[in-house]
Chains A and B, each alone.
Chain A
Amino acid sequence: GAVVSQHPSRVICKSGTSVKIECRSLDFQATTMFWYRQFPKKSLMLMATSNEGSKATYEQGVEKDKFLINHASLTLSTLTVTSAHPEDSSFYICSASPADRPYEQYFGPGTRLTVT
């Protein structure tokens, strides 16, 4: 149990376009989901915390208008990278905390975004 999926696993887009990444908890309800960004040879940097039905809380330095996060249901959160630029190329990882086990956190496999 406690499986988190992400879609797509890889995406290539042109500069200036927008890309949506989905994060789903497959076998549990997640009241809280987290979005991280992982740079090559770097740690995972928390971008935002998303609670179902409310606005996401963004970390300092993360542009909320550029990285739109929606957590419309207990099993789905989406990250939309708007007007993508090459510097947005990265590995984006989501994680989810089960509603009945809020101290646990399960990670998705990540999405590799390349902006050309």
Chain B
Amino acid sequence: GNSVTQMEGPVTLSEEAFLTINCTYTATGYPSLFWYVQYPGEGLQLLLKATKADDKGSNKGFEATYRKETTSFHLEKGSVQVSDSAVYFCAQRGNQAGTALIFGKGTTLSVSS
């Protein structure tokens, strides 16, 4: 079945370091891909998304490119901040309306000053 695999955490970085969180997926067809973020004590928020191959999603300095050939959607940020500390979830969803998201296990990012 469809699934999402993302790198295990926690990821611990110093402020201004480069961030990569790997994410790969298995799917029948061509799903839409998402990164969600969950800040401490808060609900899930959509960070960015891409709906077709080679699309790049970006938001708040984060980027991810939909790579069909490697079935990947790695999250990157050039310079992390302490405020980026959160849990990041990669997810996919089929392209029919009303289809649920399938999540990876989440990666905890901790950024220190």
Contacts and interface: CB of A to CB of B under 8 A. Distances in A.
B82 interface: no
Interface stretch (B13-21, B62-70, B102-110): B102-110
B43 A109 contact: yes
Chain A interface: which size bin?
A: 20 to 34
B98 A51 contact: yes
Given A107-B44, A108-B43, A97 B106 contact: no
A44 to B, nearest CB: 5
Contact of A107 (B4, B43, B93, B98): B43
Contacts of A103: 32, 95, 97
Interface string A5-47: 0000000000000000000000000011010000001111010
7 contacts: A49-B98, A51-B98, A93-B43, A93-B44, A95-B44, A103-B95, A107-B45
Interface of B: 4, 32, 36, 42-45, 89, 93, 95, 97-98, 100-106
B75 to A, nearest CB: 15
A102 B43 contact: no
A70 B4 CA distance: 29
Given A107-B45, A109-B43, 17 more contacts: A34-B100, A41-B105, A43-B4, A43-B103, A43-B104, A44-B103, A46-B100, A46-B101, A46-B102, A49-B100, A97-B97, A97-B98, A102-B98, A103-B95, A105-B101, A107-B36, A108-B43
Interface string A73-116: 00000000000000000000101010000110101111000000
A31 B98 contact: yes
Residue from the set B89, B100, B104, B105 with the largest chain A CB neighbour count within 10 Å = B100
Nearest to A109: B43
